[in-house]
A and B are shown apart, each in its own frame.
Chain A
Amino acid sequence: MTSALCLFLLLCTSAVCLKGASDTTQAVPTGVYRLRMTAAGGLQRSFFAQPRTQFDGGRTADGASLVIRALWQPEHLLSVGLVSGFTTISRDRLDNPLGDGRVELTLSAIPLQMAFAMRFAGFEVGTGVGGYLLISTAAVRAETTTASSQFEIGVSAWLGYTVQLTDRLGVGGEVCLHNLSYRRVTSVAPQLRLRYDLFTY
């Protein structure tokens, strides 16, 4: 509820700012409004506040991250949009100390967030607010793997730099951070990014 209220207030503020700015703009040239798609992918390291299982005291795990953002970019610095993607947070294959064979576990997450980003001199800094659809799969012994999912709140943040190759296409790199505050997991992913202006007007 609090997050929703913050989002509402932020959007209202942004709208007022944009409206105020347009009043002082003499003439907006065409082609400055754009819908900008960004795909970023790379390896990821996750940090856990508690051991992942009772068999293994490990507090870190490696995985992969793919993030897709759709941002509406007006003539101002702030862009607003959506973030999604797919990240593998951790995967464990353990010898079951109870003597029941192998335990295979995976945890993945799909970000489902509102995104806000600022740009300056080729850099982009942004945050995603909302949550993650977490997907856990578990297999003990030779049983059929079962999957379970749950939506949990979380935020992401990123800092990236893009080199413009053409009018619409750019490539670069970024560091993306995912924070699942309820589950107390934080992931950091250095990623390559590909940016494309889907359309401009």
Chain B
Amino acid sequence: MKRISITWCLVLLLGSVSCVRQLDELVVPEVDVTSELAGAGRLDSVMGESAAGTYQATEGGGVFGDTVAVLWTGAGFSIVGRTNVLWCDLQAGSRSDTVVLIGRWRFTQGTANGIVRLRAVPDEGGRELAAGRNPGKKLVLRGTVTDNRDRNPRPVVLAWERRNRNRLRGFYVIGHRGGARNSDRLGVSENSLEMLRLAPRLGCNAVEIDVLLSKDGAPFVFHDARFSPRTVTGTYLLGPVNNFTAAQISTVARLIHGERIPTLQQALQTIATETPLELVWIDVKEPEAIDTVLRTIVAAQKVLAASGRAGLRILVGLPTQDIYDAYAAHPLRQQVKAICELDADQATAINAAVWAPRWTAGVQAATVQRMQGEGRQCFVWTLDDVDFIDRFIAEGDFDGILTNYPTLLAATFYPKSGPQP
């Protein structure tokens, strides 16, 4: 009996302290972009958009698969592919008649990563790109990929095939929680200003952010109702977010990668001034926040109009009936359009700009068509599984998809043949 009891105590003790599964370490390679692009001129958006498109990987170096999409992010390029959900974050420059791209690649499904170096030489489209002309099918990107210690170089050849797909009414790749979640180990925290800056490089042209109120009523961009080691660092942060005042949150709280928790105003300002994002979906987490959120959006819209970013759409998400009711009763609802996450008739009742059903309801082609016929757009949330993303793109006609894996969604949507922009 003594042995049994002691054994049980040891088993219980070990079981209690060893229930956290450690993930494989992600070793990010060092790449000195500044020196590798020394002397190179910056690409402008015309050059960048000319190089964007769907490419065939005639040699992929074990990384690129068969087909990838090259996206112009405003300051560089992203390359996304479906093989292990490839993501390359590249900076670019032109040196005489050659365009040079360098940065990191990573399989976002795991920890494999390394450095990729590509160039378009003069006779393979580099001359036209550097001159701001579209080289079309002449464009070939050649180079190497290496591992995370910049060793074992393998050749890569990417041949431009066509422009990336777009729908005639456009399409939104909407990054959840500002772009992606903490679990994706991108080195920046979900719902942070840094994540918002990263979102376009992940393939997003829109983001969803979450808003909670502090104890004294200030709107903060944060998802969980409670602080936990999943989202924040620091020993003293625990319990409900709205137990803490705005001053305490801004002073004490740091996100998991060290960033401050942004206010809604800071987030909107960052999106407007530092990103090319086209749409913000503000998911309100509590009905008490509606008034403050609407007032903040109206103030932001005035700034946007004055600063030439009036095209940036800021919409308020209505995920629950009580939040829907608070919005419907608010006098500012005419000035701030909504994304109704409830049923389609309720979207019609408040003249929501967007109807956004949960993915579990299916493709709902007839209802989507009816909503679009009423002048509404339709988004679906939150699609993360590759099979469902395939199905919703193939069978549905949604105007945007909310996802935690914008890289996967972009890699699926853009290379598909279909209407060209």
Contacts and interface: CB of A to CB of B under 8 A. Distances in A.
A100 B251 CA distance: 8
Interface string B229-252: 100011111111001110110111
- Report which residue of A136, A149, A181 has the largest number of chain B beta carbons within 10 angstroms of its beta carbon: A136
A118 B254 CA distance: 43
A186 to B, nearest CB: 10
A48 B2 CA distance: 35
A107 interface: yes
Given A116-B12, A136-B238, A21 B20 contact: no
A40 B109 CA distance: 50
Contact of A181 (B4, B16, B233): B16
A134 B254 CA distance: 19
A55 to B, nearest CB: 9
B12 to A, nearest CB: 5
Given A6-B15, A98-B251, A140-B252, A52 B2 contact: no
Nearest 3 A/B pairs, CB to CB: A148-B239, A148-B243, A52-B235
A76 B1 contact: yes
Contacts of B20: 181
A127 B244 CA distance: 34
Contacts of A143: 245, 247-248
B349 interface: no
Contacts of A3: 15-16
Interface string A59-88: 000000000000000001110000000000
18 contacts: A6-B11, A13-B5, A17-B4, A21-B1, A51-B234, A76-B1, A100-B251, A116-B8, A118-B5, A129-B16, A136-B239, A138-B236, A138-B248, A146-B215, A146-B244, A155-B13, A183-B235, A183-B238
A107 B236 contact: yes
B16 A146 contact: no
A53 interface: yes
B8 A10 contact: yes
A129 B229 CA distance: 21
A166 interface: no
Interface string A1-44: 01100110110011001001100000000000000000000000
Contacts of B250: 98
Contacts of B1: 17, 20-21, 76, 78
A105 B245 contact: no
B365 interface: no
